[in-house]
Structure 1
Amino acid sequence: MSHGHGHSHGVDVATLPTASRRTRRILTAVLVPAALLTLVALVVLWPGSVRGEPTAADGERALGTVVAVAEQACPADAPQRRCGAATVRVIDGPGAGTDQQVDLPQGPGTTALHVDDDVVLLHFPEAVPGGRAYAVVDRQRAAPMIWLLVLAVGVILAFGRRRGVSSLAGLAVSFGVLLLFVVPAILDGSAPLLVAVVGASAIMFAALYLTHGVNVHTSVAVAGTLASLVLTGVLGAVFTSAMHLSGAGSDDSAYLSVTRAGLDLRGLLLAGIVIGALGVLDDVTVTQAVTVAELTPAATSRWALFQAAIRVGRAHVALAVNTIVLAYAGASLPLLLLIAAGNAPLGELLTSEFLAQEILRSAVGTIGLVASVPITTGLAVLVAELRGEPVRARHRM
């Protein structure tokens, strides 16, 4: 699930009304223990090294450049369309500096090799007795990826300026938590749902405060996001059990079940739901917290303030729900093609394990997203300082 567009992201929260000391104390009493608990859980669950040492049976990776291609006619009964060999100059890895013969790659997803193509090789001299020691397994794509990332960062910085820098810092923290904590901890045998909740909480605290600053409005958004994440996790657990989902409905999950014995695939499914929900939840909660702050000076009562902010939230969440559905549909496009081309009854397809998992993700994520609007709006209204109320000492959080 990707991050939403967010109406609030163009608002400088530093210019919004300040909060009272009472409001600050309430939010601190709630969020500081939650942050400390997240930090303690990170330390306790932090994994060791989970990467296995490569063995001879795995082969060795090498990089090379195609210097010649020699195609030949395929036998009449051959399944492949392109036969022949290519000469690859190994530039890094085992055999660097030598020219090696490789068979032209076959199978689904492979593309034709041409001279000057940069490829990834697997050196496996004992794979086939009397066969070639190298095989092309992928294309080198580091250079275009780096240029794409540089372009994306440049666009963000040019448009967002200071806020762009903070958003990139939040993004770096998010990827760091996912790659250094969530994935290794799950592979290390920790409960996937617990790891996902702790990781999502860490991402939420870091990303929201880095992007929007340490202030009462961001704190309200953090509290609303945390409550909505808990609701999403609970709903996911309940309906995963009610629908008797094993979490092994996809080829990737089936492969993990074989290569990682003991991995909790159902927990892994729930972990994906929680982490995916965070991407849109933080956008919606920040929007609602800032909306309440903007509407507070003109509000006549807390109920009127709540109703006005909810109207804004309805318009925002309608777009966000559409974003969720389209994101899942885009990720599952090959599955949709299989459904359209298949002959199985629709009811049977919809209740199959794999498609049921996708429906669960979409439905639970949508419910959590919709619930985040009244939850965050209610919290923001509770701590809002309306005109006509007793004046208290105001301090920026």
Structure 2
Amino acid sequence: MGHTHLHDAGTPTRAALAARRKANRLLTAILVPLGLLAVAGMIALWPSGDPGEITIADPYATAEGVTIDTGSVQRVGVEDCPSSVTLTQAGVQAPQCQVAHVLPSSGGSAVPVEVPPEVAKTNAIEAGDTVRYLNLENVMVDSGAPPYIFMDFVRSVPIAALAVLYAAVVIAVARWRGARALIGLGGAYAVLAGFILPGLVEGKPPLLLGLVGSSVIMIGVLYFAHGFSARTSTALLGTLFGLGITAGLAAWATDAAHLIGVDNENAYALINASDELSISGIILCGLIISGLGVLNDVTITQSSAVWEMYELAPGASARRLFTGAMRVGRDHIASTVYTIAFAYAGAALPVLILVSLYDRTLMQTLTSGELAEEVVRTLVGSIGLVLAIPVTTAVAVLVVKAVGLSGDRAEHAGDSPDTGPGAAGNGREPARTAAGAGGSAALGRPSGGAAAGEPGTRRGARARRTAPGFPTEDQVPE
């Protein structure tokens, strides 16, 4: 390119646009077939919507004449149990229990709601709480049973408030990208609820369901939240690689570790519901899905790290870029490994406390039926994300170097503010400084000189290494 036109800030140059197209074409040949394969798999595995003969008893179903009412707690105290009213009428001292006097939302006077002992021990019910209770007054007349029994708390308001606060914080900090991420999250749950869960109920292959559904989720979420760009495509390719590794390990580990789910109450209910349901298959699918969030996090970070370092030092070798980005990756590996472990430990804390009280060795505890699933989930997810980091980094380096603008950019870095490699990556960010781009202005030489225009010469490489803004081995930007 013999000359450069000036552009408004934020407007990509022709060279930047060409570089962006070239980088995207480099990934299109790989990602488009994978995307079409995922869509074809989803079409082939799409559930019919008929669960067959599987029936699960609804815990919220009520008998004729019984209703589930809500109301506001006026006061709570320890009184004679309403269930012992016949003893009181017979002159016998009735046992004491916790009773909440609840004002029904439908109106009327407060009713005495008996609180079960396990709930009473927590002392969680207080005046002002909104609760849900069984109204048995039409079926328990003169039976000696309590006509009103505590069922659950109504948590709609605090959960809705947290959801609104979460959305507001995300949008306030991340702005439009945060809003797109939230919408993408909704789409991900739609795939989970409309495709993966019904498919498992109908007995579709769990490995394919998890792999296809997760791939579709990642393709949609990544592009919707981060936009169509070379760096996003690079992160997606690394994510799909990590997803494949995770799926393969999960399939082996589920069988080898005999994860059959009989130690889980909910899984046990599914086992009794139908002979067609494979609990091992459901666990396998869960192992694949559970690591999606962290996997996406590390791949998009690694891809962005490579592009950012290339912006600061476009003359750096591929090996230099890979080494610098892997320093960031190793830090990320160290943090995410224990992040996953602590996340699962927090979710399984009651089980951990329970098994810690057993008289068993540490190895027996970790390999027991109660914890084996969580241990395998942690190990499988961690292996997948760790291997995805070097692969994503390597692909990002290959793509960013294949853009081929180093010589042209160095030649014109002092003339145009928006020919930065960020444009080659995503078209949004200009180069940090002309010097950081290996520009001739920083080196005090003509743009066509050996230092800038001949990046392959020994003299040019030495000049770039000594130019302001070029990071040393110990100063690779993060």
Same fold (TM over 0.5): yes
TM score, norm. by length of structure 1: 0.82
Give unmatched runs, 5+ long, in structure 2: 1-9, 85-94, 409-423, 428-478
Work out which of the residue numbers 228, 244, 260 in structure 2 matches 1:214. Answer: 228
C-alpha displacement at 1:57, in angstroms?
4.8
Q: Is the CA contact (8 Å cut-off) linking 1:245 and 1:357 kept in structure 2?
A: yes
| Residue 355 of structure 2: aligned partner | 339
C-alpha displacement at 1:222, in angstroms?
0.7
Q: Is the CA contact (8 Å cut-off) linking 1:38 and 1:202 kept in structure 2?
A: yes
| Residue 281 of structure 2: aligned partner | 267
C-alpha displacement at 1:270, in angstroms?
1.6
- Single out whichever of 29-38 and 55-64 deviates more from structure 2: 55-64
Per-residue CA shift, 1:51-72, capped at 9, x if unaligned?
A: 9796555965332233465632
Give unmatched runs, 5+ long, in structure 1: 1-11, 76-80
C-alpha displacement at 1:213, in angstroms?
0.8
| Residue 228 of structure 1: aligned partner | 242
TM score, norm. by length of structure 2: 0.69
Give the Cα separation in 2 of the matches to 1:315 and 1:261. Answer: 46
Q: Is the CA contact (8 Å cut-off) linking 2:400 and 2:425 kept in structure 1?
A: no
C-alpha displacement at 1:101, in angstroms?
4.4
Work out which of the residue numbers 90, 98, 116 in structure 2 matches 1:105. Answer: 116
1:356 aligns with 2:368: no
Q: Is the CA contact (8 Å cut-off) linking 2:133 and 2:150 kept in structure 1?
A: yes
Give the Cα separation in 2 of the matches to 1:344 and 1:301. Answer: 54
| Residue 135 of structure 1: aligned partner | 149
| Residue 270 of structure 2: aligned partner | 256
C-alpha displacement at 1:111, in angstroms?
3.8
Per-residue CA shift, 1:61-110, capped at 9, x if unaligned?
A: 332233465632579xxxxx951644434336xxx767654322322575
Per-residue CA shift, 1:217-275, capped at 9, x if unaligned?
A: 10111111011011001011112212222133322322322235432111111222111
* 1:304-383 → structure 2 map (5 Å cutoff): 304-383=320-399
Per-residue CA shift, 1:288-337, capped at 9, x if unaligned?
A: 11112222343443233222221221112211112111111111222222
Give the Cα separation in 1 of the matches to 2:373 and 2:56. Answer: 30
* 1:18-57 → structure 2 map (5 Å cutoff): 19-43=19-43, 44-46=45-47, 48=49, 56-57=62-63
Q: Specify the SS of the correspondent of 2:401.
A: coil
RCO greater where, 1 or 2, for CA within 8 Å and sep 6 or more? 1
The alignment yields a C-alpha RMSD, in angstroms, of 3.5
Give the Cα separation in 1 of the matches to 2:124 and 2:20. Answer: 66
- From the superposition, tell whether residues 395 and 211 of structure 1 become closer, same or farther in structure 2 (CA, over 3 Å): closer
- From the superposition, tell whether residues 60 and 272 of structure 1 become closer, same or farther in structure 2 (CA, over 3 Å): farther
Give the Cα separation in 2 of the matches to 1:198 and 1:365. Answer: 17
Q: What's the % identity of the aligned pairs?
A: 37
User: Residue type matched to 2:30 in 1?
Assistant: V
1:240 aligns with 2:254: yes
Give the Cα separation in 2 of the matches to 1:114 and 1:313. Answer: 49
Count of residue pairs brought into register by the alignment: 376
